[in-house]
Amino acid sequence: MKFFIKKTGQALITVFLVSIIVFLAIHSTGDPVGSLLPSQYTEEQKQQLTEQLGLDRPLAVQYLQFAGKALQGNLGESYISKRPVSDMIFEKLPYTFELAIVSIAVAFIITIIFGSIAALSRGKLPDLIISNLSTLFKATPIFFLAILMVQLFGVKWRIFPVSGAGTPLHLVLPAGLLGISISADMVMILRGKMIEALESDYVKFDRLKGIPEYQVVLKHALRNSFSSVLALSSFIFAHLIAGSVVMENVFAWPGIGTLSYNSVISRDFPVVQGIVLLLSIFTIVLSLLVDIFSAILDPRIRKKA
Amino acid sequence: MKRRKFGRHNKIPYFSIAVIILFLIIGVFGQYIAPYDATKADLSSKLLPPAFIKGGSSAYLFGTDEMGRDVLSRMIAGGRVSLFVSLSAIIVGGGVGTILGIVAGYFGRTAEGIISRLTDASLAFPSILLALLLSLSIGPGEKATIISIAFSMWAKYTRTVKSDVILLKNTNYVTQAKIMGAGKLWIIRKHILPNIRKMLVVMVSLEIGMAIITEASLGFLGLSVVPPTPSWGTMIADGKNYFLTGWWVSVFPTIATVLTALSFQKFGEWIRDRRKDANE
């Protein structure tokens, strides 16, 4: 129990720190007032708008107001569209979740299949091909592959739609590419862990007991190794966000990535603040859940902490 | 850990080293090598194919882009940006990360608590969003790119260095140095730093490739250098609209990015495996 309280406490502190980073980073991005006013403005208009937006008060006060409202789920209003930020985000969220979930599923499937094949054929041809391909994908900028796909499948052969969302066909290219790009790291991690597992005593013991090889691999080696891939959840998630901003940009996907990109370009402070805050909290909660989950599964982790 | 079966990583990666050296030469002396001015447009010779395919001219080895600028010269200038940005980001991010890691690992307690929360916060923070923010706050350009890449990597150094320092702190020779009456800074300089140095070299060479790709991604999103200064990422982005008529505009910078990133990766893996073997 002490473990869970401690972990939750740490997560709360992290959320607090992230909110300060977000708040400060956005407020160092210069004065939004200038870009919001018409090109010919008077000093008076400027002052009025500054007061209206609360930008004249001390930073600490502004932060407390922001945090207090955020706790009630109020992330402020967009400077541009004048709509509540939370509405704007939640409108786009399903699209990003759709892309993210399918990409993660693709990544997990690729990881399990190719990671296992590489580990089982260690040092042989399939392993060499998979390992080298994974290194190659890690070094290839994902947006170049995206452009290539758009040109080939979208413009030249017209097999898949390459802009917008809505049908499963729209998902094939962006989610497929994002999944492959995320799995490049995971395949190699699973491979390493699985090679360790296959040489461990419990796998040797399973074999001595006469358990069929496929069961040894699937039930014992894979299961034990996969948990170490899951432990990288926050890393995977960060990769996913970075990838989806780029992917949404290339494929004109109407999700959070496009929204955040457009909001930064138009200096819409509250929207960016809301997105970054929400995504970071999401990552923190996710890794807390993974920590708790793995502690429930494995009591040794609870003792160690 | 057992050695890999064929030990193929213990072969000296001559090709990678050659690519890295070429990259360094281009980065430092590029402006003297480049055949043309990377930013000079010449609309009379736009989208010329590379010299080795039909219609190409030997004057433009890798062809020209949509504004008639020489692709090879732009790649050379872009290479300088890649080298400068990735090295600076690593020096800043790795430096800050290492110092914080030593402080957290060696002094423990409160320092470790605070620094661990900071690394958690930084790892939870989507680095691409920070890049978007920073390129606005200090304006897009090399400085913003360097800071955002550095910010996205310091926490990794802190974590790795911290766990190494904790192990080192409890070794016999550090304990004996303490008994001898050595000061903390002396122990850090004499025992801790030399021992984490090799691990840092491995991390740095593995990360340079990542930094180059991150720079290219930011360039692609229009957040890195300001046009007309070329970077590999912005060149790939420029070429995306002419892909079917002028694939060379984005394909050559992509090849340069992949080759460089791959070479640093292979080089880093080689040092890592060599170090592992030496420890056995």
Q: Which residues pair with A84 in a beta bridge?
A: A77
A88-102, A208-222, B45-59, B88-102: the lowest-pLDDT one: B45-59
Cβ proximity of A184 and A239 under 8 Å: no
pLDDT digits over A270-287, tens only? Answer: 788 788 888 878 878 877
Confidence (pLDDT) at A179: 92
Report whether pLDDT(A71) > 50. yes
Question: Is A59 an interface residue toward B (CB < 8 Å)?
Answer: no
Task: Give me the phi and psi of A211, to 5 degrees please.
Answer: -70, 135
Report whether pLDDT(B125) > 80. no
Confidence (pLDDT) at B136: 65
What is the Cα gyration radius of chain B? 22
* Terminal Cα-to-Cα distance of chain B (whole angstroms): 9
Confidence (pLDDT) at B98: 92
Cβ proximity of B262 and A141 under 8 Å: no
3-state SS string over A22-51?
HHHHHHCCCCHHHHHCCCCCCHHHHHHHHH
CB contact under 8 A, A17 and B132: no
Q: What is the DSSP string of A67-124?
A: HHHHHTT---B-TTT-SBHHHHHHHHHHHHHHHHHHHHHHHHHHHHHHHHHHHHTTTS
CATH topology of domain A85-264: MetI-like fold (1.10.3720)
* Coil vs helix vs strand at B70: strand
Distance CA A289, CA B77 (A): 46
CB contact under 8 A, A25 and B221: no
What the block records as the tokens of A10 is 């740490």
Q: Is the peptide bond before B194 cis (omega within 30 degrees of 0)?
A: no
CB contact under 8 A, A280 and B266: no
Instruction: Sketch out chain B's domains with CATH numbers.
Output: 14-30+47-279 (1.10.3720.10)
Question: Is A264 an interface residue toward B (CB < 8 Å)?
Answer: yes
Neighbours of B272 (CB within 10 A): 18
Alpha helices (H) in B108-231, listed in sequence order: 109-124, 127-137, 142-169, 172-179, 184-187, 193-220
| B44 secondary structure, DSSP code | G
Closest CA in chain B for residue A239: B126
Complex ipTM:
0.78
| Closest C-alpha to B136, from A122, A277, A272, A72 | A272
Task: Give me the phi and psi of A77, to 5 degrees please.
Answer: -115, 145
Report whether pLDDT(A185) > 60. yes
pLDDT digits over A209-239, tens only? Answer: 888 888 888 877 887 787 777 777 767 777 7
Question: Is A25 an interface residue toward B (CB < 8 Å)?
Answer: yes
Partners of residue A235 in chain B, C-beta under 8 Å: 123
pTM of the entire predicted model? 0.82
Of B126, B257, B266, the CB nearest to A238: B126
